[in-house]
Structure 1
Amino acid sequence: MLLVVVAAGVWVHLAGRQDGPPDTRARQYKEFDACLLTGDKGIAEGTRAASAWQGMQRASSETRARINYVPVTGAQSVTNTRPFLNSLMQRQCGVLIAVGAPQARVAQEAAAQHPEVRFVLVDGASTAGTGKAGNVTVAQPDESLPGVVADVIGRAVDASGQ
């Protein structure tokens, strides 16, 4: 009985091997990452982050940029948000979209230190003075958000030469 199980395991292993070229239907991404920093609800339907994510998906489809998101877990505060933003900055995101008041505030602070990264801030509050840096776009949490996000990512990918 044991021999049959071992033989079946070897067969399954060998049957799963892929010799030859990779599947040409697999999507080939560019070396460009766009990252989304959200509140604890992530990209759940009906959230502002879900709308931003739609724009990111569209941009990825058009440009082949890789996209990902990180929800801030725990307290929804500036202090708790910083380590999450820092983890995204270590991934070398070319575009960072921050949705939510603490996320946008921390991203605004980081924009001055990372001029090579494009930032999109979405907090729905008064954003007077936050769009002055050349690498910051302030987006409103309305029906135009997916288009704004897709446009910023598309321009950043083009500018990167990828």
Structure 2
Amino acid sequence: MLHWLTAARAAVRAWPRRQQIIAGSAMLTVLAVLATWLLWPQDPPPPAPRERQYKATTACLLTDDQDLAAEPARTVWAGMQDASVQTLVKVQHLAISGPQTTANGLTYYNTLGMQRCTVIIAAGPVPVAAMTEGITAFPDIKHYAVGGNTDGKPVTTIDTTTADTIKTGARAAVTAAG
């Protein structure tokens, strides 16, 4: 083998200077490409999904025209969101706009019923009255009331003693839906 290497060196030295430069440049280029290929970083892992993958269950909140700006809806919504993070149950809310009457509220309640909410929580007197008025149209939905008069309808009432009991009740309602 040593004889072969010596013969190769002698042959290269016999080349004109220009051929030596070209051969050396070609060898350096091949080495640079090889080193780049070997040292190239691996592809980064794909990014984690940014949106939550919710279950096929929705818990809905019906509020008066103050929506989430007033109590008890604000506290109910906070409890619903806490439960949503834990259970991956989708939560949404709908405010009754226009006249704050049972008849007008019934339209909004029916909207939530038609959207196939698994749970509807009504927060406040008008939303609760609308829910108790239309409850027979959606017997498969679990109903919860926060404040208001349930008129003996099959509605679970959430304790309104403190903000913590409201939030805990809303969290439990959403968790039960999951």
**TM-score w.r.t. length of structure 2:** 0.67
Unaligned runs of 5+ in 2: 1-45
| Shift of residue 59, structure 1, vs aligned partner | 1.1
In structure 2, C-alpha distance between the alignment counterparts of 1:35 and 1:47, rounded to whole Å:
16
From the two aligned structures, give the one with the greater helix fraction: 2
Q: Counterpart of 2:158 in structure 1: which amino acid?
A: A
Q: Percent identity?
A: 31
Q: CA RMSD in A?
A: 1.9
Match of 2:14 in 1: none
Match of 1:32 in 2: 57
Larger Rg: 2
Question: Quick check: 2:65–2:96 contact (8 Å CA) kept in 1?
Answer: yes
Superposition map of 1:107-146 within 5 A? 107-123=131-147, 125=148, 129-130=152-153, 133=154, 136-141=155-160, 142-143=162-163, 144-146=165-167
In structure 2, C-alpha distance between the alignment counterparts of 1:43 and 1:114, rounded to whole Å:
25
Superposition map of 1:66-105 within 5 A? 66-105=90-129
Deviations 1:96-154 (A, max 9, x none): 0101112101212333332211111112x455634xx2xx2112333201111111221
In structure 2, C-alpha distance between the alignment counterparts of 1:91 and 1:127, rounded to whole Å:
22
Question: Quick check: 2:65–2:95 contact (8 Å CA) kept in 1?
Answer: yes
Q: Counterpart of 1:32 in structure 2: which amino acid?
A: T
Question: Quick check: 1:108–1:121 contact (8 Å CA) kept in 2?
Answer: no
Question: Quick check: 2:132–2:150 contact (8 Å CA) kept in 1?
Answer: no
| Shift of residue 24, structure 1, vs aligned partner | 2.3
